[in-house]
Amino acid sequence: MARMIVTISKMWAGILFVVCVSVLNAAVPDFDEAHAFFLLEAQCALGPRNPGSWGHDRCLEFLKRELGYWTDTVFVQPFSYYSFDRKETLELSNIIGRIAPEKNARILLCAHWDTRPTADQDPEPKNHNTPILGANDGASGVAILLEIARRCALKPPGIGLDFVFFDGEDYGREGVLDDYVIGSKHFANDIPAPVPRFGILLDMVGDRDLKIPKEQASYTLARDVVEKVWRAARDLGIQTFDPTVGRGVYDDHLALNEEGIPTIDLIDFDYPPWHTLHDIPSACSAKSLDDVGRVLLQVIYTEKP
């Protein structure tokens, strides 16, 4: 009889565990991969979004409008930047949307929205001065964050969120570091309060064969955030997040880390269409957007206020 009671107790404990896990998972909203992919395609439909282009102007309005639907406040950080290398002045804009701007407990989610003005890695030399479409390198991260903003507006989390789209990330010629990550360096000098606990940068996260290693600088500068994100991926059974430490990347997260906001870079640099005219929507996957979006939602909704 005692053995039966123990067995029944174990059975109820197992049922209770399943119920608790189900309730916990139910608290995290679903990520709509089809809508996220639509947002990726919508950006690409505007054409290349390199600074000074028609697509850049139209995309600025598109992103302001989309963030305006789903965040409590939207504002733009316009600024000018002079390139000594190219001898030209750029008019750039960081775009910022905030959910629950009054909350001190908050997470910064960011991506770059500009695209590269030159296809300098294209296999055809004649294309090297042609702007790229940037489906993965630009549009993928923005699409995921817009969908997350939509989900969090429909079911508010217990924390505040800052969505920041950086301009001028991919402008520079190869080897001219001063002309890269321009928008994040400007933003780092003018971060709105309250300052986020930590940040997560998305860059090139739509690859059809997505595999995201732990970017080296992220692992060095913000290891706790790396482990938080990879733990969420493990809890969800998502294999896209590679537990090995990969190469370091000069990207928008570095300026934020320098200002004391531990920020990691989610990036798959193993992408053959990188900086070519082949970086188009067909090289991307809704499933990849879904993997990253679900992990970020898990992190957001399990973060304690």
Is 124 within the bounds of a domain? Answer: yes
Q: What is the CATH number of the domain that holds 268?
A: 3.40.630.10
What is the spatial distance between Cα 228 and Cα 208, in angstroms, rounded to a whole number?
Answer: 25
Domain contains 15:
no
Residue 109 lies in a domain: yes
Domain that holds residue 108: 31-302
Give the C-alpha distances (Å, rounded to integers) separating 164 from 109, 120, 121, 160, 173. Answer: 6, 27, 28, 13, 24
Tokens of 262: 């531990």
Which two three-digit tokens encode residue 119?
A: 């296809």
- H-helix or E-strand containing 124? none
Contact 65, 181 (CB under 8 A): no
Alpha-carbon span 41 to 133, nearest angstrom: 10
Query: CA 234: distance to chain centroid?
Result: 19
How much is the pLDDT for 92? 98
Q: Which of 202, 208, 166, 170 is nearest to 183 (CA)?
A: 166
Summarised one tens digit per residue, pLDDT across range 166-190 is 999 999 999 999 999 999 999 999 9
**How many Å separate Cα 76 from the centre of its chain?**
18
E-assigned strands of the chain?
A: 73-83, 88-99, 106-112, 160-166, 198-202, 212-214, 241-245, 263-266
Q: Bridge partners of 157?
A: none
Number of domains into which the chain is organized: 1
Residue with tokens 């290693």: 213
Task: Look at residue 175 and tell me if it is in a domain.
Answer: yes
pLDDT mean values, one per 10 residues, the chain (305 residues) = 39 42 62 98 98 98 98 98 97 98 98 98 98 98 98 97 98 96 97 97 98 98 98 98 97 98 98 98 98 98 96
pLDDT one-digit tens code per residue, 250-300: 999 999 999 999 999 999 999 999 999 999 999 999 999 999 999 999 999
Crossing angle of helices 54-70 and 33-44, rounded to 10°: 150
Residue 72 lies in a domain: yes
Write a three-state SS string for 215-275: CHHHHHHCHHHHHHHHHHHHHHCCCCEEEEECCCCCCCHHHHHHCCCCEEEECCCCCCCCC
Helices and strands in the chain: count of H runs, count of E runs: 9, 8
Task: Please give the Cα distance from 268 to 289 (Å, whole number).
Answer: 12
112 close to 123: Cβ distance less than 8 angstroms: no
Handedness of CA 222, 223, 226, 228 (dihedral sign): negative
Is residue 115 a contact partner of residue 45, using CB atoms and an 8 Å limit? no
Residue 11 domain-assigned (yes or no)? no
**Other Cβ atoms closer than 10 A to 227:** 13
pLDDT by residue (tens digit) across 25-34?
A: 449 999 999 9
